[in-house]
Amino acid sequence: MDQEKLLEELVHPADTKMILVVLDGLGGLPLPEREGKTELEAANKPNLDALARASELGLAHPVLPGITPGSSAGHLALFGYDPTKYVIGRGVLEALGIDFPLEPGDIAIRGNFATARFTPQGPIIVDRRAGRPSTEHTVAVCRRLQEEIRRIEDVEVFIRPVKEHRFVVVFRGSGLDPRVADTDPQEVGVPPLPPQPLAPEAEKTARLATIFLTRLAEVLREEPATNFALLRGFSQRPHLKLFGERFHLKAAAIALYPMYRGLAALVGMEVLQVKEESLASQLAVLRQSWPDYDFFFFHVKATDSRGEDGDWEGKIKVIEEFDRHLPQIMELKPDVLVITGDHSTPALYRAHSWHPVPYLLYSRWARYHRDTAGFGERDCARGALGHFPMLYNMNLMLAHAHRLVKFSA
Amino acid sequence: MDQEKLLEELVHPADTKMILVVLDGLGGLPLPEREGKTELEAANKPNLDALARASELGLAHPVLPGITPGSSAGHLALFGYDPTKYVIGRGVLEALGIDFPLEPGDIAIRGNFATARFTPQGPIIVDRRAGRPSTEHTVAVCRRLQEEIRRIEDVEVFIRPVKEHRFVVVFRGSGLDPRVADTDPQEVGVPPLPPQPLAPEAEKTARLATIFLTRLAEVLREEPATNFALLRGFSQRPHLKLFGERFHLKAAAIALYPMYRGLAALVGMEVLQVKEESLASQLAVLRQSWPDYDFFFFHVKATDSRGEDGDWEGKIKVIEEFDRHLPQIMELKPDVLVITGDHSTPALYRAHSWHPVPYLLYSRWARYHRDTAGFGERDCARGALGHFPMLYNMNLMLAHAHRLVKFSA
């Protein structure tokens, strides 16, 4: 039987509370500068280490061994959705990342401003990122475009800046289909690719994209650099059964970054407002809303950012900062607490990687190992949970929260 | 999504080089004579042990826990082909084992010379192996048969000796189908089974097999022992997407034994000529061809042979010999080096076994464990890779070689 269906059939309600802490990009690699310890192992984190000795540890694969997950794939697995089954397109992810209120059926497209040279035969791409304009410039350009392009045929068009050369286009209307090819030729000195329909149902969407690019070039014809655009990742919100309905949970997300708030909203979690960009502020929200929900997704971004910077000391510091705040979480006495990542971002590797993610599950029913040194990749590799697909995170959390009945007689 | 398809979609080219060393039948069992150490653990192998401390270790299941793989299943998994999906028939494997140039569509059949008593009701099998004739005798008998039987109907027939009572028959022509039942009754004193077609499309092949056996009995009617044959494993080359195309690799095989050369050829690897039957000669080929390929399959047979003999001291010596040659491999500075087996052949068990196979992956991005004692089953069981299906070997090698892009946004 399908794992997702099986799980849903076993779910039953209980009066228990769970917290899923995602330290983004948590997994690391041995650092020669730190005696072969990873970022997590090198961190001075007495609270996490003590918790590890009372918890089950393991290493989790967001997708499969060797496969490096994008952020959406990593989070889908954490939330109990098979990331190879539900793919979130780049356009949708980008729209989520700027808090754009995407409606079902909307086509979201990631745009990159580019520089083109216009010839009688059509445009030739000269710079695929338009010389990396400032975000301010892109904001201004998008405002002008939006004023000029509000509709194409019977379809509403939304144009929103993201960062530097990046922006989002959204088509809203009927008869739309996301199966349209990217227009980025991936090299310069050549024409852009046409927005080719990949299915007959996508002809209208492709036509709108062609008209959009023509009108964009007209509006921007006086711009020295940002005079054209490349379109990628035509996509729609995937059809996802809602998290709360699947697991009979009232779920809330406490995340600072739009993309993660967007992913939580996509599965139907309530996204709580956080006043300041700080762990303390996130924890204040957790405390205040503690009586109102039974599942909390608590997202910390900086582990990943420091990892991508190659800044292992910085990543270690983020882990140490989280450790100092951990007692505030423990004071709430959650029935189940998971601390893990959505993928690894080893500071040595400076990018998302395929290495499995350290995973800690604390509950009254944890099969802990007394000789655990602490929370680290090596103890996780030898932990009670072994290596497992992250898709089973919800199985484990629900089981420890007494929210699953016995399977079969 | 299907793992094989997913992997192929993520592959992208890179300028990195990989070596897959297969020490055939590497896995062992604790030897009471060696203080409970396995063959691998008992071997004096300083180079492998030092490498293990800089590598990721794990235990790999070629098929599934408890399932003992044949050599072809073990190698298919190593090469990234699901061994439960692509089955290589006994006839094909036997043909590969004698370097027979099998063409697509050929029907390969494993033959066993047998002794029959001919009665008015037909033959009765008296000895299923014809008293185990010498290989020389079988060579001579096959030559006579081939002279007399060159065609049956419109189909070419090839008859080739293997070893002792074993030979191979190949049918080449149109309208052939391998779904024909074995004729071996598995006991003596009874008639052979007819080569029954198991599908209407296989009626011609079954008829040819019947005629072949009749003509064989005529040709060999004066032979005292090798006067009949039993046919098994009717099979065709499976349709396999080529390794090089799937993974964008230029791949070469350095193997001494025909069957392994044949398996490598089956997936489209280039099979390099090795002058002498020695590790030194194999290594010379590796060095010479190093600039020309980016993936090398390097096969060492003797670990398996000594295991099957029950000769644990011999198997230990083979591992120690490989260890002395390991620095020559390291000098080439491969980006990724995997050292593993295609299955376990514990010397105590004297046969292929189901025990998972020790697996070592060395790369710049290895999540090594500093406290690793060396390359052995116990360290592998606690290693960074845990227990995993050998099918993921290619995922891991490609990931560490920077040849996979991120999955999803």
Q: Which residues of B touch A69 (CB under 8 A)?
A: 406-408
Tokens of B402: 């920077």
pLDDT score of A1 more than 80: no
Residues in chain B whose beta carbon is closer than 8 A to a beta carbon of chain A? 1, 3, 6-7, 10, 365, 367-371, 382-388, 392, 394-399, 404-409
Query: What is the predicted pLDDT for the residue at B409?
Result: 79
Name the region of B330 (left: φ>0; alpha: ψ -120 to 50; beta: rest): alpha
- Pick from B383, B387, B395: CB nearest A64: B395
Of A84, A87, A387, the CB nearest to B387: A387
| Encoded tokens for A62 | 């967001």
Residues in chain B closer than 8 A to A63 (CB atoms):
407
- Whether residue A9 has pLDDT greater than 80: yes
CA distance A359 to A338: 7
Nearest-CA distance A387 → chain B (Å): 6
Nearest to A88 among B367, B392, B408 (CB): B408
Q: Are A319 and A52 in contact (CB under 8 A)?
A: no
What does each C-alpha distance from B353 to A109, B71, B348, B387 come to in angstroms? 53, 11, 10, 16
Q: Select from B383, B397, B404 the Cβ nearest to the Cβ of A67.
A: B404
B176 vs B104: CA distance, rounded Å? 11
* A385, closest residue in chain B (CA to CA): B386
Query: Maximum Cα–Cα distance for chain B, whole Å?
Result: 75
CA distance B355 to B66: 7
Give B83-91 contacts, CB < 8 A, sequence gap 24+. B83/B391, B86/B238, B86/B240, B87/B238, B88/B235, B88/B238, B88/B263, B88/B266, B89/B178, B89/B233, B89/B234, B89/B235, B89/B236, B90/B232, B90/B233, B90/B235, B91/B168, B91/B169, B91/B178, B91/B232, B91/B233, B91/B234, B91/B235
- How far apart (Å, rounded) are the C-alpha atoms in residues B215 and B152? 10
pLDDT tens-digit readout, B95-135? 988 989 999 999 999 999 999 999 999 999 999 999 999 99
Cα–Cα distance, A341 to A49 (Å, whole number): 17
Mutate to test the interface with B, among A67, A110, A186 (most CBs of B within 10 A): A67
Average pLDDT over residues A91-105: 91
Q: Whole-angstrom Cα distance, residue A45 to residue A9?
A: 39
CB contact under 8 A, A64 and B406: no
- pLDDT tens per residue across span A111-145: 999 999 999 999 999 999 999 999 999 999 999 99
* Residue of A42, A348, A390, A43 whose CA lies nearest to B366: A348
Share the mean pLDDT of chain A: 96
Domain A3-88+239-400: which topology? Alkaline Phosphatase, subunit A (3.40.720)
- A73 with B392: Cβ contact below 8 A: no
The domain segmentation of chain B, as residue ranges, is 3-88+240-400, 100-235
Q: How many residues does chain A have?
A: 409
Q: Nearest-CA neighbor of A346 among B364, B306, B359?
A: B364
Closest CA to B383 of B360, B350, B364: B360
Distance set, CA B87 to CA B92, B163, B179, B197, B236 (Å): 10, 23, 13, 19, 10
Chain B residues whose CB is inside 8 A of the A384 CB are none
Q: Which two tokens stand for residue A406?
A: 């016995």
**Quick one: pLDDT at residue B97?**
86
β-bridge mates for residue A388, sequence order? A60
| B403 contacts B336 by C-beta, under 8 angstroms | no
Over residues B369-389, the mean pLDDT reads 97
- Residue B83, burial from CB neighbour count under 10 angstroms (0-12, 13-18, 19+): buried
Residues whose CB falls within 8 Å of the CB of residue B406, separated by 6 or more in sequence, listed in order? A68, A69, A70, A352, B10
Q: Is the pLDDT of residue A258 over 90?
A: no
Which chain A residues contact residue B359 at CB under 8 A? Answer: none
Distance from CA of B398 to the nearest CA of A (A): 7
Q: A387, B386 in Cβ contact below 8 A?
A: yes
- Helix axis angle for A279-289 and A312-330, nearest 10°, is 20
Give the bridge partners for A111, in sequence order. A167, A231
Q: What is the mean pLDDT of chain B?
A: 96
Question: Among partner residues B7, B368, B408, which is closest to A70 by beta-carbon distance?
Answer: B408
Map chain B to HEC letters. CCHHHHHHHHECCCCCCEEEEEECCEECCCEHHHCCECHHHHCCCHHHHHHHCCCEEEEEECCCCCCCCCHHHHHHHHCCCCCCCCCCCHHHHHHHHCCCCCCCCCEEEEEEEEEEEEECCEEEEEECCCCCCCHHHHHHHHHHHHHHCCEECCEEEEEEEEECCEEEEEEECCCCCCCECCCCCCCCCCCCCCCCECCHHHHHHHHHHHHHHHHHHHHCCCCCCCCEEEEEEEECCCCCCCHHHHHCCCEEEECCCHHHHHHHHHCCCEECCCCCCCHHHHHHHHHHHHHHCCEEEEEECHHHHHHHHCCHHHHHHHHHHHHHHHHHHHCCCCCEEEEECCCECCCCCCCCECCCEEEEEEECCCCCCCCCCCCCHHHHHCCCCEEEEHHHHHHHHHHHCCCECCECC
Phi, psi angle pair for A117, to nearest 5°: -105, 130
Distances (CA, A) of A301 to A315, B6, B70: 11, 28, 48
Q: Which residues of A sit within 8 Å Cβ distance of B?
A: 29-30, 35-36, 38, 59, 63-73, 83-85, 87-90, 93, 233, 346, 348-349, 352-355, 377-378, 381-382, 386-387
Helix axes B203-219, B135-148, angle to 10 degrees: 110
CB contact at 8 A, B286 and B254: yes
pLDDT bin (cut points 50, 70, 90) of residue B374 is very high
CA distance B212 to B217: 9
A118–chain B nearest CA distance, Å: 32
How far off is chain B from A3, nearest CA to CA, in Å?
14
User: Would you say how long chain B is, in residues?
Assistant: 409
Cα nearest neighbour of A96 on chain B: B409
Q: Would you say B339 and B360 are in contact if contact means Cβ atoms under 8 Å apart?
A: yes
* B162-218: pLDDT as tens digits: 989 999 999 999 999 999 999 999 999 999 999 999 999 999 999 999 999 999 999
Mean pLDDT computed over B7-23: 97
Whole-number CA gyration radius for chain B: 23
Q: Which residue of B6, B386, B407 is in closest CB contact with A59?
A: B386
Q: Do A353 and B368 touch (CB under 8 A)?
A: no
Q: Nearest residue of B to residue A92 by CA position?
A: B409
pLDDT of residue A196: 97
Write out chain A residues lying below 8 Å of B392, CB-based.
64-66
Do A72 and B10 count as a contact with CB atoms less than 8 A apart?
Answer: no
Q: Residue A75: is its pLDDT beyond 80?
A: yes
Please state whether B233 falls in left (phi above 0), alpha (psi between -120 and 50) or beta: left
Q: Max CA-CA distance within chain A?
A: 75
Distance of residue B400 Cα from the nearest chain A Cα, in angstroms: 8
CA distance B223 to A15: 83
Nearest residue in chain A measured CA to CA from B370: A36
Query: Residue A387 and residue B392: Cβ atoms within 8 Å?
Result: no
Confidence check: pLDDT of B85 > 90? yes
pLDDT level of residue A99 (50, 70, 90 thresholds): confident
By Cβ distance, the residue of B1, B387, B407 closest to A68 is B407
For the four alpha carbons of B380, B382, B383 and B386, in that order, the dihedral sign comes to positive
- C-alpha to C-alpha distance for A205 and B83, rounded to whole angstroms: 43
Shortest Cα distance, chain A CAs vs residue B396, angstroms: 4
pLDDT at site A127: 96
Distance from CA of A75 to the nearest CA of B (A): 11
A142-171 per-position pLDDT tens digit? 999 999 999 999 999 999 999 899 999 999
Distance between CA atoms of A73 and B134, rounded to whole angstroms? 61
For the segment A328-377, what is each residue's pLDDT rounded down to a tens digit? 999 999 999 999 999 999 999 999 999 999 999 999 999 999 999 999 99
- Chain B residue numbers with beta carbons less than 8 Å from the beta carbon of A38 are 367
Q: Are the beta carbons of A89 and B383 separated by less than 8 Å?
A: no
Please state the rounded mean pLDDT for residues B393-406: 97
| Number of C-beta neighbours around residue A250 at 10 A | 11
The verdict on domain A100-235 having CATH code 3.30.70 is yes
As a whole number, mean pLDDT of residues B310-327 equals 98
Q: Count CB pairs under 8 A between chains A and B.
A: 96
**pLDDT average, residue stretch B66-87:** 95
Domain B3-88+240-400 in this protein, CATH class: alpha beta
| Disruptive mutation site among A354, A369, A380 for chain B (greatest number of B CBs within 10 Å) | A354
Euclidean distance between CA atoms B408 and A184, whole angstroms: 18
Confidence of residue A390 (pLDDT cuts 50, 70, 90): very high
Q: Which residues of B touch A349 (CB under 8 A)?
A: 365
Per the CB < 8 Å rule, is A67 touching B396?
A: no
For A328-345, letters b (16+ CB in 10 Å) and e give ebeeeebbbbbbbbbbbb
Other Cβ atoms within 10 Å of B250 Cβ, number: 13
Find the residue in B nearest to A380 (Cα): B384
Residues from chain B that touch A30, judged by Cβ atoms under 8 A, are 367-368, 370
From first CA to last CA, the distance across chain B in angstroms is: 16
Place of tokens 């005529």: B218
Judge whether residue B1 has pLDDT over 70: no
Place of tokens 């604390």: A362
